[in-house]
Structure 1
Amino acid sequence: MAAEKQEVYSNVESMSQKLFEINDFIHDNPETGNQEFKAVELLTKTLEDNGFTVERGVAGLKTAFVATYVHKGGGPTIGFLAEYDALDKLGHGCGHSIIGTAGIGAGIALSKSLGDTPATIIVYGTPAEETTSGKLPMVAAGLFDKLDVALMTHPGDRTTVGSKSLALNLVDFVFEGKASHAAASPEKGISALDGVMMLFNGVEYLREHVRSDTRIHGIVTDGGAAANIVPERAAARFYVRGADRNYLNGVVERVYNVARGAALATGTKVTIKEIKAYDNKVLVESLNNVLLENAKAVGATQILPPPESTGSTDFGSVTFRVPGAELGIAFVPVGTPGHSKDFVAAGTTETGHAALITATKTLAGTGYDLITKPELLKQVKADFKALSASK
């Protein structure tokens, strides 16, 4: 192993106590999406103390930041993504305190181990992953476009790479009708709730004719004011998900047509409002391979294939723009569900701390390889380009 790469790991070890303190502070002071002011203050101060130039409030988000370190005039640009929002009423049930701490730790450790090799390291503070998905406006603002590669970690029940994610559209459907007395003069009313109910029925029929990876699930968010009033307004919220963004776009349009048909059939009007949309992860095998090899090299445990079932993440939209990879890092027993009290409890344990150090070393070591091995970076970018051409 190159002495410089061993230095990367040594730098992580030397700052381990500081990383534990940062992780534990964020964990014990949980803040929900777009309110992560304490976490951001601590993370950005640590980066500035280690020579990074920090821009706060990027992409119109109060708790987003971009921290940049340019070495020897710059060279390959490696990004580390930090998350730090907690779940409402649960706390850090998704391990984001570890994600945020590992992201800055990897950036700092790598910045101190570059020798004479030109490089640029950028740490991105990406808020509100659990709610409004802060990476989306950051993607729209082009903040990730300067990267050669984007890296991040996510705690879970296994150490793994290549975990898929589902593209997602979150949509509100609002139906408008005409109020009337539901008993005395129902014929004078137009039920907005009828529109919503027909939307749900139409979606049920649609399920038979979409690919098996498609997920369509919704709730009624407004069912009317009272049972004796023909509902003048009714609304529903749906998630539409799928493994492939291009295919999912067609499914989303079919769902929209179901809503339009429901409005036509019931004499109501429907307004369709997309709340957010993000893409499935683009999985670059060559990048995932080097990430996993680095995890093995630093003693990662519970190395397993990625789980079959999956959800959605706004990191997918980053990987649509630049090559990106996510390291799943084990910190709970296999089978432990995310968004659980067990995840919260593990965040500051010895096992959680060990996972933090392993993830930080893996990310930093992978960044080192990409910077110092031009052929590797060239291969990763070529593989990404080929995948992008086939999308």
Structure 2
Amino acid sequence: MTTNDWIEQAVTTAVAAVADELDAFSRDLHAHPEVGFREFRSVRAIGDLLARHGLDLETGVGGIPTAFRSRIGSSQGPQVVVTAEYDALPGVGHGCGHNVIAASSIGAFLALAPLVADGRLPGGVTLLGTPAEEGGGGKELLIQAGAFDGFDASVMIHPGAVDAAAVVANAKRQVVATFTGATAHAAANPHLGRNALDAAVTAYQAIAQLRQHIVDTDRVHGVFLEAGTRPNIVPERAVLEFFLRSRSVDSLLALSRRVENAFRGAALAADVEVDVAWDTEPIYLPHRLNRVLAERFSERSAPRRSVVVAVEDTGQPAGSTDVGNVSQLLPTIQPIVAIGAPDIPGHSRERADSTLTPDGRRAILDSATALALTAADVLVDDDLRAAAWAEFRAAGEPVRVGDLVPLAPWPTFPTE
């Protein structure tokens, strides 16, 4: 039996043995969704699952209460990190399928653990729990804490509409504009007031007009957080929050300048003050694709998935993820695994419920198997590691957020 054959057999058998546990765990997370940095119950559930298999869980990694780590194998030799997400969306629950992500990553780790522990696979494997992907940038905070240092590859999957071994992700940053004017009686003496809401509306409209003159892959979308208190009081305070997305950091920064001009121009027009606060949450960097690892994942998925696209980069608009920050430091993949009908929208209750179907269970098992096999290949295949790193370095040096813009303030984490 070749090395490839016995690894395939061992991993496939191990994933099948924990199939019911992984499905039950995914359903449990779906039934008890927790938003970013509040995933206390979810982390306990993960710890309980690992404990049943004799594995320890270290919580509070990087000073983040709901970040965790479990390590197996040697600190010498090649190293792979399998990342897990488990936060939910407010009001929607697991509408981004993070319950499937966590179950798949745990399944891959459980399949690899005995092979690494007894030395049949060299090096080490780490399961790293990364909270608050939906807002808060848990991976970026863990990068700053050094939790991603020393690895040869980072792997995880994400549910979606199609099977794709690699997809682009845009850079993203956040901005909050606070307009401050002066109150007055809106009927008796409005001339004495300075209307902050007028400024916010003008800014919103200016940014809406800006959308006609940006590239198709850029996105600017925002909401009013505050807009006054009563109709008969000239609003002295109005607050807007926007997300900006772009294919590259340079184009994101250029877009940022244009958006800030809209805020400041609107304040000038309304004769009010404006405070523009960038990046109260970490910036998400664009995903640096690694086709070498993506194609290996595609090969490892092929026996189980009918269609696996090696690399999908259609030039269409894309979302953003803090996996992008990891991909700027080391070879990284986040394949998409199809669940349900292609027209199920992301961040929806329909997407959340699709994870409970037989298709959702199959996605967990297929993903856990392909992730484990890809990670095993990284550990045993010197040429694969070298090629992955060569492709990474061909795209440039590692990039950290702090090299580009001032870091977001370190958050104050909630307690349970």
| Class of the TM-score when normalised by the shorter of the 2 chains | over 0.9
Find the counterpart in structure 1 of residue 232 from structure 2. 228
Supply the AA of the counterpart residue of 2:35.
T
Deviates more, 1:263-272 or 1:354-363: 263-272
**CA separation in 1, counterparts of 2:285 and 2:355?**
28
User: Within 5 A, what are the aligned runs for 1:200-239?
Assistant: 200-239=204-243
User: Within 5 A, what are the aligned runs for 1:243-254?
Assistant: 243-254=247-258
Change in CA separation of 1:50 and 1:147 when aligned onto 2, cut-off 3 Å: farther
Aligned residues of 2:181 and 2:235 also touching (Cα < 8 A): yes
**CA separation in 2, counterparts of 1:222 and 1:132?**
21
Find the counterpart in structure 2 of residue 174 from structure 1. 178
Supply the AA of the counterpart residue of 1:281.
H
**CA separation in 1, counterparts of 2:325 and 2:397?**
16
Runs of 4+ in 1 over 6 A off after TM superposition: none
Pick the aligned partner of 2:295 from 289, 294, 298: 289
1:53 to partner: Cα distance: 4.5
SS of the residue corresponding to residue 113 of structure 1 reads helix
Aligned residues of 1:53 and 1:69 also touching (Cα < 8 A): no
Supply the AA of the counterpart residue of 2:26.
N
Deviates more, 1:358-367 or 1:51-60: 51-60
Identity %: 32
Describe the superposition over 1:212-262 as per-residue Cα deviations: whole angstroms up to 9, x where unpaired: 211111122211122222211111111111111221112112212321232
Supply the AA of the counterpart residue of 2:171.
A
**CA separation in 2, counterparts of 1:342 and 1:231?**
39
Describe the superposition over 1:35-85 as per-residue Cα deviations: whole angstroms up to 9, x where unpaired: 2222211212333454545321223322111222133x5321111111112
Structure 1: runs of 5 or more not aligned: none
Deviates more, 1:375-384 or 1:312-321: 312-321
SS of the residue corresponding to residue 94 of structure 1 reads coil
1:309 to partner: Cα distance: 4.1
**CA separation in 1, counterparts of 2:205 and 2:140?**
31
Find the counterpart in structure 2 of residue 300 from structure 1. 305
Find the counterpart in structure 1 of residue 159 from structure 2. 155
Pick the aligned partner of 2:274 from 270, 288, 310: 270
Residue 320 of structure 2 corresponds to residue 316 of structure 1: no
Deviates more, 1:340-349 or 1:288-297: 340-349
Pick the aligned partner of 1:55 from 53, 58, 65: 58
1:302 to partner: Cα distance: 4.5
Residue 79 of structure 2 corresponds to residue 77 of structure 1: yes
Supply the AA of the counterpart residue of 2:149.
D
SS of the residue corresponding to residue 190 of structure 1 reads coil
Pick the aligned partner of 1:183 from 179, 184, 187: 187
Change in CA separation of 1:89 and 1:259 when aligned onto 2, cut-off 3 Å: closer
Q: TM-score, normalised by structure 1?
A: 0.92
**CA separation in 1, counterparts of 2:15 and 2:153?**
21
**CA separation in 1, counterparts of 2:348 and 2:269?**
43
Find the counterpart in structure 2 of residue 9 from structure 1. 12
Aligned residues of 2:121 and 2:376 also touching (Cα < 8 A): no
User: Within 5 A, what are the aligned runs for 1:319-334?
Assistant: 319-334=327-342
Pairwise CA RMSD of aligned residues?
2.1
Aligned residues of 1:51 and 1:69 also touching (Cα < 8 A): no
Aligned residues of 1:320 and 1:388 also touching (Cα < 8 A): no
**CA separation in 2, counterparts of 1:355 and 1:131?**
25
**CA separation in 2, counterparts of 1:52 and 1:92?**
26
Describe the superposition over 1:168-208 as per-residue Cα deviations: whole angstroms up to 9, x where unpaired: 11211101111112222222221112221231233234334
User: Within 5 A, what are the aligned runs for 1:12-161?
Assistant: 12-50=15-53, 52-71=55-74, 73-114=75-116, 115-161=119-165
SS of the residue corresponding to residue 155 of structure 1 reads strand
How many residue pairs match? The answer is: 389
Deviates more, 1:54-63 or 1:299-308: 299-308
**CA separation in 1, counterparts of 2:15 and 2:222?**
44
**CA separation in 2, counterparts of 1:60 and 1:272?**
29
Find the counterpart in structure 2 of residue 357 from structure 1. 365
Aligned residues of 1:44 and 1:67 also touching (Cα < 8 A): no
Supply the AA of the counterpart residue of 2:85.
E
1:6 to partner: Cα distance: 2.2
Aligned residues of 2:300 and 2:370 also touching (Cα < 8 A): yes
1:18 to partner: Cα distance: 2.1
**CA separation in 2, counterparts of 1:385 and 1:120?**
23
SS of the residue corresponding to residue 157 of structure 2 reads strand
**CA separation in 1, counterparts of 2:383 and 2:236?**
63
Structure 2: runs of 5 or more not aligned: 400-416
**CA separation in 2, counterparts of 1:26 and 1:205?**
41
**CA separation in 1, counterparts of 2:56 and 2:392?**
29
Q: TM-score, normalised by structure 2?
A: 0.87
Deviates more, 1:87-96 or 1:61-70: 87-96
Supply the AA of the counterpart residue of 1:317.
N
Supply the AA of the counterpart residue of 1:380.
A
1:390 to partner: Cα distance: 10
